[in-house]
Amino acid sequence: MTAAASPPEVLRAPLVVEFPFTRSLGPVQSAFLTGLRERVVLGVTTSDGKVMVPPVEYDPVTADEIRDLVEVSATGTVTTWAWNGEPRPQQPLATPFAWVLVRLDGADTAILHALDAPGPESVATGMRVRIRWATDRVGAITDIACFEPDDTPADPTDAPQASPRAAPHDGVFTDAVTGIVAEARLDYTYSPGRAQTAYINALSERRTVGERCPSCHKVYVPPRGACPTCGVATTDRVEVGPAGTVTTYCIVNIKARNLDIEVPYVYAHIALDGADLALHGRIGGIPYDQVRMGLRVEPVWTEGGRHPDHYRPTGEPDADYDVYKELI
Ligand SMILES: [Zn+2]
């Protein structure tokens, strides 16, 4: 039986980027979120008298600092909307809902949030809505659970309510919210493409392959499938390394979360023999303050590792600067 060679399978895998983003709030955002905790919505007045909700710290026209907080209403008008038929995890509502921009009564700008509505036919630009407050409020945008339809007519004067509120550091709010942790999560299905699939498959055999540009003859490692200089596809697969040369490096003094590596350690650009592009790797097996440009290194694999754990000195004489000066 004869069979045509089938094209190599291109890898695909889920890739989740997830991290807690911790930020301090500053006086304006602190007042806004502390206000939400107390079921009060605060905007900020710009130099031309407009009220912005959510508030910002700098005037969008003059760039001046703005700090004049004013309370606006918990009711407002939808200025535009989009239906979300398939809510994703951690969105404001688990059932289908509308994303809405709502101009709260007393505000000149609109705030983005969710509107709890039975279906898109019950949502319209111009409809009246009101805030549904979360039962447990902590000083976060989620203290507004969502908006819901409201049959109260708009205030005909539609002016900011008269009572300016001072920022929490002036003592209006006790126990002000000064920072938040925003959980960031990005879900991807990642396909590395043909060139990197070959690179990853070769790594599983502890080999490193790059691809050569047919025009300038540079060998790219890891290969991206095209030469960024010539703009042509790279097709000629080339095995490089395993040894290489440190072209430049830095000493890491900050311990990363979830990385069990003692600091200080050295992270380096390493040009594998035969490659025209340096890749990144950690240098071990040598005191950090003895690592140098031109140091010859080789990969160290750990059991089950999908890439070299680190690189260590080979003991060869250092490479001549002229050999790697184009690879720094
Ligand atoms: Zn090229």
Mean pLDDT of 145-152: 90
Q: Is the pLDDT of residue 59 over 80?
A: yes
Ligand 1 center to 212 CA (angstroms): 8
The third-level CATH classification (topology) of the domain covering 241-328 is: OB fold (Dihydrolipoamide Acetyltransferase, E2P) (2.40.50)
Q: Is the pLDDT of residue 67 over 60?
A: yes
195 pLDDT tier (thresholds 50, 70, 90): very high
The CA R_g of the chain, rounded to the nearest whole Å, is: 29
Mean pLDDT of 36-60: 95
Q: How far is CA 97 from CA 88, 90, 125, in A?
A: 11, 13, 15
First to last CA, the chain: 51
Ligand 1 center to 233 CA (angstroms): 9
What pLDDT sits at residue 151?
79
C-alpha 11/C-alpha 179 separation (Å) is 41
Ligand 1 center to 51 CA (angstroms): 55
Ligand 1 center to 29 CA (angstroms): 50
What pLDDT sits at residue 311?
97
Q: How far is CA 181 from CA 20, 71, 138, 176, 278, in A?
A: 6, 25, 12, 15, 36
| DSSP string over 111-172 | EEEEE--SSGGG--TT-EEEEEE-SS--SSGGGEEEEEE--SPPPSS----S-EE--GGGTS
C-alpha 178/C-alpha 176 separation (Å) is 6
Ligand 1 center to 96 CA (angstroms): 50
Q: Is the pLDDT of residue 160 over 80?
A: no
Ligand 1 center to 149 CA (angstroms): 60
Q: Which of 265, 258, 278, 270 is nearest to 296 (CA)?
A: 270
Ligand 1 center to 217 CA (angstroms): 6
Mean pLDDT of 271-289: 95
C-alpha 253/C-alpha 298 separation (Å) is 23
- % of the chain exceeding 70 in pLDDT: 91
Give the pTM: 0.62
Give the angle 277-282-283 at the CA atoms, nearest 5°.
100
Ligand 1 center to 207 CA (angstroms): 23
Ligand 1 center to 221 CA (angstroms): 13
Q: Tokens for 241, please give them.
A: 């390394």
C-alpha 179/C-alpha 305 separation (Å) is 39
Give 198-256 pLDDT, tens digit per residue: 999 999 999 999 999 999 999 999 999 999 999 999 989 999 999 999 999 999 999 87
Ligand 1 center to 235 CA (angstroms): 11
Select the more confidently predicted residue: 138 or 257: 138
C-alpha 288/C-alpha 252 separation (Å) is 9
C-alpha 307/C-alpha 168 separation (Å) is 52
Q: Which of 68, 24, 65 is nearest to 43 (CA)?
A: 68
Q: Tokens for 75, please give them.
A: 């009711």
Ligand 1 center to 173 CA (angstroms): 62
Q: Which residue carries 């700090």 as its tokens?
A: 67
Q: Which of 73, 95, 78 is nearest to 86 (CA)?
A: 95
What pLDDT sits at residue 45?
95
8 pLDDT tier (thresholds 50, 70, 90): low
- Show me where the domains of the chain are located: 18-183, 193-240, 241-328
Q: How far is Cα of residue 79 from the mean position of the Cα atoms in its chain?
A: 29
Ligand 1 center to 246 CA (angstroms): 23
Give 78-123 pLDDT, tens digit per residue: 999 999 999 988 899 999 999 999 999 999 999 999 999 999 999 9
Q: Which of 169, 186, 122, 179 is nearest to 148 (CA)?
A: 122
157 pLDDT tier (thresholds 50, 70, 90): low
Q: Which residues surround ligand 1, an ion (CB under 5 A)?
A: 213, 215-216, 227, 229-230
Task: Give me the phi and psi of 199, to 5 degrees please.
Answer: -60, -45
In whole numbers, what is the pLDDT of the chain averaged over residues? 90
